[in-house]
Amino acid sequence: MNNNGSAAEFVTVNPADLLADSNIRHDLRLTNAFRESIAEQGVLTPITLCRTADGALRVLTGHRRTAAALEAGLTQIPALIVGDERDGAEATVDRLVTQWSENEHRAAITNGERLALFETLADHGLDSAKIARRTKAPRTEVEAALTLRETEQRDAVHRGELTIEQAAAIAEFSDDPAAVGRIEWAIRGGRLDHALAAERLRRTERNAALARAGAYLAEHGIDAVALGAVNERVGEGTSHLIERVTDEGGNAPTVEEVAAAGHLGLYISVRTSFFDSETGDEIEEEDIVDELPEGDAREGWMIPRENVVEDTETALYWHVIGCEETPWRTWWEHRARPTLAEQDAEERAAQRREVIENNREWRAATEVRRQWIDQQTTRKTAPKGTASFVATVLMKWPQIPSAYHARTLAEQMLPTSDTLAKLATATDSRALVLLRAHILTALESQVGAEHWRKPSDLSQFYLRAIEAQGYTLADIERRAAALAPVAAEQ
């Protein structure tokens, strides 16, 4: 029954025949997922219509379903005709309030409900790819959800304390309290992607280094060794290099003695250097190219990989973990003040640790940044300010889009042939999206780990620009943009 007491009439109608000119929404906000759902499954919930004085049908509720059905080329959708259109202010007020109620009071599916749905679909035999395809949910979210069974974090999702992605990130590193702490801090700052990439890279490096350390220990017959974190302080303030501790008699312990006491830790440093085989000079990895441009018209910095010699140096630094529980103490506990030489050595070691950690953070941020650029190619329209952004780059750095590194990265991320094919049929707005992605890729090719130490005009412009366009900068990227860390701002 409609609000006039007459029975509503169920019909199927052609969306092209409907009047959809009266809606409180100024922007229908048709997402790709919504479009795909309508195209594949049709309109599942009937729209509501009223009949105008001349017999035409006007949409009362369901404007987004109607528009998506038109885009999908559907010719039949379900509808309810709830009566004749009324004139006057009261009728207009009723229509507006009805549209408001339909949209305002619709409760979104909770994260807990999404999690339960994905698990139920998996129980019925669907893998993550099929679940994502059928529900239009991001596959990464589905895969994350299916890792949460039998975890404490699953309950946190149902309580509304964490999203599925946040819970999965914490569960992935649940055996590493320090990593969980860093991830939780990143969640509060809205930078989970950066933290997760950094922790995975840290874990990969750690596992590789521990494998090398394990081989060393086996070769030397050292058992029961507590291995510390790789490229980090071991024991966080309570562990020290073996050569820097002694017993009361001034005798330094051996690795075997510390291992036997159960207090041996290991810090592993791996450094790869690159040398020009023709000159013997050390070169930066960023200057190495797989092949020279056509005609061997190399730029001054280019070094072909075939002319490069690599030298990898692995250094093992043995530590005493938990010195306060052993007979060994550090030199500053035996003397009032360290010597200047010892202070300098400690400062250099601290600087080296900072470089290693920050370079890792930069590599992780680069991965997240490039994923974000890739996502920008799927936009229907470019963000506000794109024309000014592109024009500024082309006027200030006209050489960058055609530079070797820019062309190389573009072929990896946005192959020119694919982009040109898309441009051939693109609308003006879509062409601007593709041009913006091309410019972003070119700028991306010009920033590197050196910029967190010495921000350049370009690194500052680029990173600040993508932040203004919706990207969240990690702290290491903020350093390259000459911005204060988030923690300092807070």
Confidence of residue 6 (pLDDT cuts 50, 70, 90): low
Which carries the bigger pLDDT value, residue 68 or residue 248? 68
Pairing state between β 245-246 and 329-330: antiparallel
> Which pLDDT score, from 0 to 100, does residue 360 have?
87
> Which pLDDT score, from 0 to 100, does residue 278 have?
81
Which carries the bigger pLDDT value, residue 266 or residue 397? 397
**Cα separations (Å) of 37 from 72, 77, 129, 230, 244?**
10, 14, 16, 47, 66
Is the pLDDT score of 109 beyond 80? Answer: no
CA distance 200 to 417: 33
Minimal CA–CA distance to 182: which of 360, 372, 367, 369? 360
Helix (H) or strand (E) holding 303, with range, is strand 303-304
> Which pLDDT score, from 0 to 100, does residue 228 have?
47
CA distance 109 to 330: 58
Sheet holding 308-321, edge to edge: 239-241, 308-321, 264-276, 282-283
State the chain's mean pLDDT as an integer: 82
Residues 416-458 pLDDT 10s: 778 888 888 888 888 999 999 999 999 999 998 889 989 999 9
| Total Cβ atoms within 10 A of residue 107 | 6
**Cα separations (Å) of 152 from 157, 167, 228, 419?**
9, 9, 27, 45
Which carries the bigger pLDDT value, residue 24 or residue 34? 34
Pick the CATH number of 9-104 from 3.90.1530.10, 3.40.50.300, 3.40.50.150, 3.40.640.10: 3.90.1530.10
Q: Which two tokens stand for residue 446?
A: 């010009």
CA distance 49 to 58: 5
Minimal CA–CA distance to 386: which of 466, 480, 478, 482? 466
Provide the b/e sequence for 460-482 (b: ≥16 CB within 10 Å).
Answer: bbbbbbbeebebbbbbbbbbbbe
Q: According to DSSP H, which parts of 77-191 are helical?
A: 89-104, 111-123, 128-135, 139-145, 152-158, 164-172, 177-188
Residues 391-405 pLDDT 10s: 999 999 998 888 888
> Which pLDDT score, from 0 to 100, does residue 391 have?
94
Q: How confident is the model over 329-338, as a mean pLDDT? A: 63
Residues 123-169 pLDDT 10s: 888 899 988 888 888 899 999 999 999 899 999 999 989 999 999 99
Q: Which two tokens stand for residue 298?
A: 């190399």
CA distance 97 to 118: 35
> Which pLDDT score, from 0 to 100, does residue 201 have?
86
Q: Where are the domains of the chain?
A: 9-104, 111-200, 222-337, 357-489
